Chains A and B, each alone.
Chain A
Amino acid sequence: MHVTNHSINAIMRIIFLAFFLLWGVQAIAAAVEVKNFDTPEQERVYNSLISELRCLVCQNQTIADSNADLAKDLRARVYKMLQQGKSRQEIVDFMTQRYGDFVLYNPPMKAKTSLLWLAPLLFLVIGLLVAWSVVRKKRLATHSESAHDSAQSEEIRRLLEQGDDR
């Protein structure tokens, strides 16, 4: 028993170690690109922009996370546009003009994207309705059950009393 505990501990330790080591690798990979910024504000905008734009080749990554060629090119383009004094909105417009709203991880609310935005609300409402109907059914069931109980116990009491009489 003691031995198994030990080996489980050892396995857990290895898993955690591997996890943190790999995490470190990813952080290093992302940090390789060195860019110089004129102002800290510019750097902040750059970092927030590249983590908001989708890499279209590897669709579940932002261009900040991805090392795909296109992601590198788009990062370079964002950087260049910032250096040219372009605003955040101008860069977002530049990207959506070329790649559509899909390039944004935070798509704007439009007729086309309304389902995307409203679906969570819709599911919440459905969930609440289901919960409400389940609770109501349960409550009705307990009510009739207790009514049934009292009628039954009344009957038992009567029978017991009759028994006493005999």
Chain B
Amino acid sequence: MLKFLTPLLIFAVLAIFLAIGLNLNPREIPSPFIDKPAPPFTLQTLEDPSRTLSTADLNGQIWLLNVWASWCVSCRAEHPVLNRLAEQKLAVIIGLNYKDEPEAAKNWLARLGNPYDVSVLDMEGLTGIDWGVYGVPETFVIDKQGVVRYKHTGPVTDKDIETIFLPLLNALQAE
């Protein structure tokens, strides 16, 4: 009896581990910033480079940092989702325009709509490194105390908004 059960058991264990492995997303690297203060920045805005926006200006409100670029294909897929989210006015949405040409970025927003309250320029990608950005688009959720509460890597979908962002934003609003 044991003779038949042993290989079956080994197979079952192996199958379980492989199934878990298949369902993990290797691109999803846990961010070390969760529940830590957001890395500060002071950057020129895309709309008017003579003005700057810094993380300190956003204290006291819930905000999203969406890392985007006009050269980024997945950002285009994500864009309508962000536009719809912006209409709901649940949080301030800041765009971090990552390693992009300001002209191209402006055209992009003019053409596809602008979900951002403000976009700031990170042409060298230095702020991107400070935030541990490795794959555009990325979206961070920052609470009223300036603490990073959630990070989403890759394009946000309507389903993500429904299942992750809305509940989280509502919970943060109630805090």
Interface residues of A (CB under 8 A from B): 56-57, 59, 69-70, 73-74, 77, 96-100, 102
Of the candidates A56, A69, A97, the one whose C-beta lies within 8 Å of that of B99 is A69
Could you say which of B73-81, B123-131, B161-169 contacts chain A? B123-131
- The answer on a CB contact under 8 Å between A98 and B129 is yes
Interfacial residues, chain B to chain A (CB-CB below 8 A): 26-27, 29-32, 39, 99, 125, 128-132, 134-135
Q: A88 CA to B131 CA in the complex, in Å?
A: 21
Task: Determine the chain A residues whose CB is within 8 A of the CB of B131 once the complex forms.
Answer: 98
B131 to chain A: closest residue by CB:
A98
* Contact, CB under 8 Å: B132 / A100: yes
User: B117 to chain A: closest CB distance in Å?
Assistant: 25
Q: Top 6 A-B pairs ranked by shortest CB distance?
A: A56-B134, A98-B132, A100-B32, A99-B132, A102-B29, A73-B125
Residues on B with C-beta less than 8 A from A70 are: 125, 134
User: Would B31 and A73 count as touching, CB distance under 8 A?
Assistant: no
Determine whether the beta carbon of A98 is less than 8 Å from that of B130: yes
Q: In the complex, are the beta carbons of B26 and A99 less than 8 A apart? A: no
Q: A59 and B26: CB pair below 8 A?
A: yes
Q: Which of these, B29, B39, B99, B129, contacts A77 with CB under 8 Å?
A: B129
**What is the distance, in angstroms, from B2's C-beta to the closest C-beta of chain A?**
12
CB distance from B165 to the nearest CB of A (A): 22
Residue of A nearest to B99 (CB): A69
Enumerate 12 A-B pairs (CB-CB under 8 Å) in ascending A order.
A56-B135, A57-B135, A59-B26, A59-B27, A69-B99, A69-B125, A70-B125, A99-B29, A99-B134, A100-B30, A100-B132, A102-B29
Query: Could you tell me the distance between the alpha carbons of A4 and B31 in the complex, rounded to whole angstroms?
Result: 58
- Would you call A100 and B134 a contact (CB within 8 A)? no
* Contact A73–B129 (Cβ < 8 Å): yes
